[in-house]
Amino acid sequence: MMKILGIETSCDECAAAVVEDGRRVLSNVINTQIPFHAAYNGVVPEIASRKHIEWIQAVVQEALDKAGLDSDGIDAVAATNRPGLLGALLVGLNFGKAFAWAKKIPFIAVDHMLAHLYASRLDISSDVPPDYPFLGLLVSGGHSIICRADSFDSISVIGATIDDAAGEAFDKVSKHYGFGYPGGAVIDTLAKSGNPGAFHFPLPNLSGKNPCDLSYSGLKTAVIHQLEQFRTGGASIGTDPLNPADIAASFQKTAIEILLRGLYSAVEKTGIKTIVAGGGVAANSLLRSSLAQRRDLRCIFPPLELCGDNGAMIAGIGYRYLRRGESSPLTVTASARVEGFKRKLHEE
Ligand code: KG4
Ligand code: ZN
């Protein structure tokens, strides 16, 4: 039995968890900074770093307490070191390194996006984990990637956004309409009482380009333009004729259609029929219900609480590296980006 402490501070969640043998979540503490960033309608990097510095020790302590362990009960430490906000990453990375050094236990630096892809493996209620290769649908606030996964740490990008990430589109639309921050969960909830057919927003024209790619800037612009039309027409939010729920439902319908179109193109291109989703947008109810209807595909989602950023996915994937006899030197540093995750525009 191996108990790994996982630490995640790449963005605005200060999170730590203890996971046994890469599957059983013993504790999963997620302290969100959202209230501190909400006034700015986005994550303020300096505030994020400072809050992580203030909170990290208490969050790790809580994760140990909830797992019923003290620091001696931990066999290894894993922490996110890429990609993310550099100043935020450094807090969890360095705390994790110091913990491992003090306890003379192995340390593993983890890629945040690979960890999102691993998150569904932590669902012990699910039956057999999917066989490789499978298609990965990695959709978060900073990335939108459709990939082929050949192992837990080997993915090749099949399609990616050529402009905004999926979660970013939800956040930006929400910001413009004043729905709240972050936008994903707010729009998802609002959309439930709206009419998805109320507005017709355009799908991106990817003809002649990679059909597995995604694009959100056109949709975002069209939805925001709709607001301008309401403004010049003298309407205000919350009164007729602008019904926020209709905007949310119509936007969400198109946003998810864009994702599904890219994903189904990847299914066609590769013939792979198993899909594993991860990242904050994987919590989207329309995405989940739409994919559930495709009986010909096996679609695996993490439980809702493991879609967004958390320490359990970090501890989980950390275990896989250790099982392979790998760990990181304590000189390992952080990186804001990961090469190869953002498809270059000129690439086909
Ligand atoms: O994975 P995550 O927690 O952080 C990053 O690594 O970026 O993803 C956060 C993103 C945000 O853009 C948020 O608006 C979006 O995930 N999100 C959602 C939903 N819940 C969170 N997007 C659509 N529908 C949701 N239910
Ligand atoms: Zn994330």
- Tens of pLDDT, residue by residue over 165-215, are 999 999 999 999 999 989 999 999 999 999 999 999 999 998 889 999 999
**343 found inside a domain:** no
Write down the pLDDT at residue 208.
84
Ligand 1 centroid – CA 78 distance (Å): 23
Residues 194 and 295 in one domain: yes
Q: Total domain count for the chain? A: 2
Mean pLDDT of 320-337: 97
Q: Is 69 in the pocket of ligand 1 (CB under 6 A)?
A: no
Write down the pLDDT at residue 340.
56
Which residue among 14, 171, 174, 281 is best mutated to probe the pocket of ligand 1, counting the most ligand atoms within 8 A of its Cβ?
281
Assess contact for 59 and 32: CB atoms under 8 A: no
Assess contact for 51 and 36: CB atoms under 8 A: yes
Q: Is 83 in the pocket of ligand 1 (CB under 6 A)?
A: no
Write down the pLDDT at residue 336.
94
**79 found inside a domain:** yes
**256 found inside a domain:** yes
Instruction: Give the Å distances, CA to CA, from 337 to 114, 143, 171, 203, 312.
Output: 13, 10, 21, 28, 22
The minimum-distance atom of ligand 1 relative to the CA of 116 is: 1
Residues 208 and 59 in one domain: no
Residue 240 has pLDDT above 80, yes or no: no
Write down the pLDDT at residue 126.
72
Residue 85 has pLDDT above 60, yes or no: yes
Q: Check residues 242 and 256 and name the one with the higher pLDDT.
A: 256
Distance CA 171, CA 165 (A): 10
Q: Is 188 in the pocket of ligand 1 (CB under 6 A)?
A: yes
Write down the pLDDT at residue 94.
98
Lowest-confidence pick of 209-223, 233-247, 258-272: 233-247
Ligand 1 centroid – CA 2 distance (Å): 30
**246 found inside a domain:** yes
Percent of the chain whose predicted confidence (pLDDT) is above 70: 94
What is the CATH classification number for the domain harbouring 83? 3.30.420.40
**332 found inside a domain:** no
> 209 lies in which domain range?
134-301
Residues 231 and 263 in one domain: yes
Give the confidence band of 229 by pLDDT, cuts at 50, 70, 90: confident
Mean pLDDT of 64-82: 98
Q: Is 302 in the pocket of ligand 1 (CB under 6 A)?
A: no
**115 found inside a domain:** yes
Which residues surround the ion ligand 2 when the cut-off is CB under 5 Å?
140, 309
Write down the pLDDT at residue 344.
39
Q: What is the pLDDT of residues 95-134, one digit of tens each?
A: 999 999 999 999 999 999 999 999 999 987 776 788 899 9
**270 found inside a domain:** yes
Q: Is 309 in the pocket of ligand 1 (CB under 6 A)?
A: yes
**Exposure b/e, 329-346, CB count within 10 A at least 16 = b:** eeebebeeeeeebbbeee
Residues 166 and 239 in one domain: yes
Residues 194 and 271 in one domain: yes
Mean pLDDT of 242-261: 96
Edge-to-edge strand order for the sheet containing 144-151?
Answer: 154-160, 144-151, 134-139, 274-278, 298-300
Write down the pLDDT at residue 239.
47
Residues 72 and 156 in one domain: no
Residues 156 and 267 in one domain: yes
Q: What is the mean pLDDT of the chain?
A: 93
Write down the pLDDT at residue 342.
47
Write down the pLDDT at residue 74.
98
Q: Is 140 in the pocket of ligand 1 (CB under 6 A)?
A: yes
